[in-house]
Amino acid sequence: KTEAAPDAAATPAPADAAAAPVVAAATPPAAAAATPPREEEDSLTEFAERSPLLDFANTDMAFFGDVMVALGSAINAPAATNPVLTTLNQSLLSGAITCGTDSGASTVTSPVTPSGLKWVHHDKTGYFFPGSMSVATVSGATQNGSWLSINTSQSSATVSKGVFSLHLNHGTAVSNGSYSYLVAPGVESTAMDSFPVSNFQILRNDATVQAVKDVAANKTAASFWAAGTVDGITADNKAAVILKKDASFLELAVSDPTQANATSILIELASPVAGLIRADTGMSVEQTSPTLRVRISTAKSYGRTFKARFYLRANAYETVSISPSADAFVFDGASTTNYGTNPSLACKLVTTSSSYTRESYLAFPLPAGTKTPVAASLRMTPTVAQTAGIHAVQPVPAGSWTESGITWSNRPAPSGPASATWVPAVSSRTSCDVLPAVLGLSGNSLNLCVTTQAPTSDGYVGYASRESTAASLHPSLALVVPRSEIAIWKIERFAAQASDPSVAGESADPDGDGETNLLEFATGQLPTASSRASAAIAIGSGSGAHLTFTYPRSKAGLADGLGFVVEWSDTLVSGSWSHTGITETISGDDGTVQSVSASIPTGGSAKRFVRLRVSQP
């Protein structure tokens, strides 16, 4: 907290309270946190501090696992005649206080302001200053006070205890002050000098943008106090943003920390992506290349986090759309009536009456052999939405209901927590994350229940069911699954003809060179240019005569589980081929294709034939 220091005559709080006396304390509004998908340990919180003496200060706290990076900027207190302080911590003393400076480490008791301060350690917690700090005051002195000074019903007896205190002094009449520091719990004092402070880079810390990057995780957390750009991220409005990128995926999380933006936030990333895996309802991908542009509708979002995930390798994933095999809604006002043939899936919650609540159920069959998805989304289209409240989707047990038999009275209870929430809007197709429910399946049928979580004045919402006459509005389950390497290869090599088996099928030979597409893929060749695999046979010398057969082996083929078997025969007669006595070694690797050398015994025959057999799993 940044605050103006009290006058010297101010009565101190008792040591047990471990709280600095506040003359001009700021009261931050509720903060909004942006969190990447399924990584709840990482978050970003920002708020503005104001008080009669502290005109303005931006505070940003980014959490990367156990490490908190705190940034402060735009600290302005032109009327302050006492020092303006940022308190990092004030607590009861627990063990030694150690300070690390450019000159070495030392133990602290009485208040000191070390020059070139690099870190402070107390109670297995490390406080680190990027670069060094010369305005930090550290103390472990005894403080005296009484509970009576803060509560007239308490004792006037003097309480004396040791207090750890660490604060930064910005001076008086502050203009555009700032600070930055890291806090890491669970760090021993002996490990302070080796702590990877440089792994956390402060990218910007000013009145417009505060941003820090976890270099090891390639993750950036940025608070935009106005339109701005940092680390290839551009925001057109106030926003809290977390961006993570690895070799395969890009993950984006955005929230409106003001909770007052009634329009939208536009985020533009300097680099392109290959495609969208999934995005929360309210996020619209405007372009994926040459830059990525995502617009977030923030009206009535109340600071919630919007998350999207993209893939970086072209054609690496495909979306499989599955239609429901059953859907229906139930109604407490007609508890024994079945609505399985209704063209709508109704949702509403009324807590003051038992005649208006409705819930909807859907079942989706997962085809046999479906690959493990990286995303799964329930897509529904509201055709009617009055004063919509928050809706949620939960799994229900498979086989616990039927489309023609379900009623309010016999409806199954959800079997798990809500995996997604959203606020529906007419004609705006929802995209709700149900991946946890899909990954948790023990069978091949996904059953879901859609409910209203909070009542509104008239919260009736009707989604189009599978019985709706408008097929484009029907519910669907969208699974994003990885493509096989050979499927990617076909798209890259045959483009629009990739789905034509006469051209791109595994047994086709479009270039007429006598090698099928499967063999061309397996050996790293071009299927549209006549060529032969660069295999070679050499006769070995010395004892234990042998042949050496060298062939190219595609690493993409290995990733697809292709079988590569070198065989020999002396007669070429069917059934005479053998793998006996063959050993293989990798003699080269260019990152895409391996060169494999197979040693083959010569045997006693005057001739020996060798072949490479490639098979699919």
Domain boundary pick from 480, 509, 528: 480
Residue 439 lies in a domain: yes
Which residue(s) pair with 4 in the sheet?
84
| Tokens standing for residue 151 | 């509560």
Q: pTM (2 decimals)?
A: 0.80
Are 500 and 575 members of one domain?
yes
Q: Name the β-bridge partners of 382.
A: 463
Final residue before a domain boundary, out of 480, 497, 528: 480
Domain match, 365 and 470 both: yes
Helix/strand/coil percent split, the chain, to 5: 10, 45, 50
Q: What is the CATH number of the domain that holds 571?
A: 2.60.40.10
Q: What is the pLDDT of residues 279-337, one digit of tens each?
A: 998 999 999 999 999 999 998 888 889 999 999 999 999 999 999 999 999 999 999 99
What's the rounded Cα separation, in Å, for the pair 308 and 321? 19
- What order do you get walking across the sheet with 306-311 strand by strand? 200-205, 209-214, 219-224, 239-245, 249-255, 306-311, 275-279
| Within a domain: 580 | yes
Task: Collapse the DSSP code of 519 into the 3-class scheme (helix H, G, I; strand E, B; otherwise coil) and give the result.
Answer: helix
Residue pair 480/374 in contact by the 8 Å Cβ criterion:
yes
Give the span between the Cα atoms of 2 and 290, in whole angstroms: 42
Are 354 and 389 within one domain?
Answer: yes
| Domain co-membership, 469 together with 418 | yes
CA pair distance 232, 358, nearest whole angstrom: 46
Amino acid in the structure at residue 419: S
Rounded to whole angstroms, what are the CA distances from 124 to 102, 120, 191, 192? 21, 10, 10, 10
Query: Is the per-residue pLDDT at 542 higher than 80?
Result: no
pLDDT band at 238; cut points 50, 70, 90: very high
- Strands ordered across the beta sheet of 292-297: 228-230, 233-235, 264-269, 292-297, 283-287
Same structural domain for residues 553 and 580? yes
Residue 166 domain flag: no
Residue 26 pLDDT: 26
Does residue 427 belong to any structural domain of this protein? yes
Ramachandran region of residue 326, left (φ > 0), alpha (ψ -120 to 50) or beta?
A: beta
Whose CA is closest to 254, among 327, 306, 319, 219?
306
- pLDDT(496) > 90: yes
Same domain? For 497 and 450 the reply is no
476 in the same domain as 488: no
| 13 within some domain | no
Q: In this structure, is residue 420 part of a structural domain?
A: yes
What mean pLDDT is predicted for residues 510-532? 91
Taking the alpha carbons at both ends of the chain, their separation in whole angstroms is 61
Helix (H, G, I), strand (E, B) or coil at 285: strand
Indicate whether 472 and 510 sit together in one domain. Answer: no
Q: Is the pLDDT of residue 19 over 80?
A: no
Q: What pLDDT shows up at residue 606?
A: 83
Task: Show the domain range for 336.
Answer: 322-480
Say what the pLDDT of residue 423 is. Answer: 86
Do residues 403 and 426 share a domain?
Answer: yes
Q: Of 6-20, 147-161, 269-283, 569-583, where does mean pLDDT reach its minimum?
A: 6-20
Give the range among 52-66, 259-273, 285-299, 493-507 with minimum mean pLDDT.
Answer: 52-66
Task: Report if residue 501 sits inside a domain.
Answer: yes
What is the DSSP-derived secondary structure letter of residue 2?
E
Q: Is residue 463 domain-shared with residue 518, that is, in the same domain?
A: no
Question: What DSSP designation does 178 have?
Answer: E
pLDDT the model gives residue 51: 54
Same domain, 452 and 495: no
CATH number for the domain spanning 431: value is 2.60.120
Q: 297: which strand partners?
A: 264
Q: Could you tell me if residue 388 is inside a domain? A: yes
Model confidence band, residue 447 (pLDDT cutoffs 50, 70, 90): very high
365-394: average pLDDT: 92
Do 417 and 491 lie in one domain? The reply is no
State which of 480, 505, 537 marks the end of a domain: 480
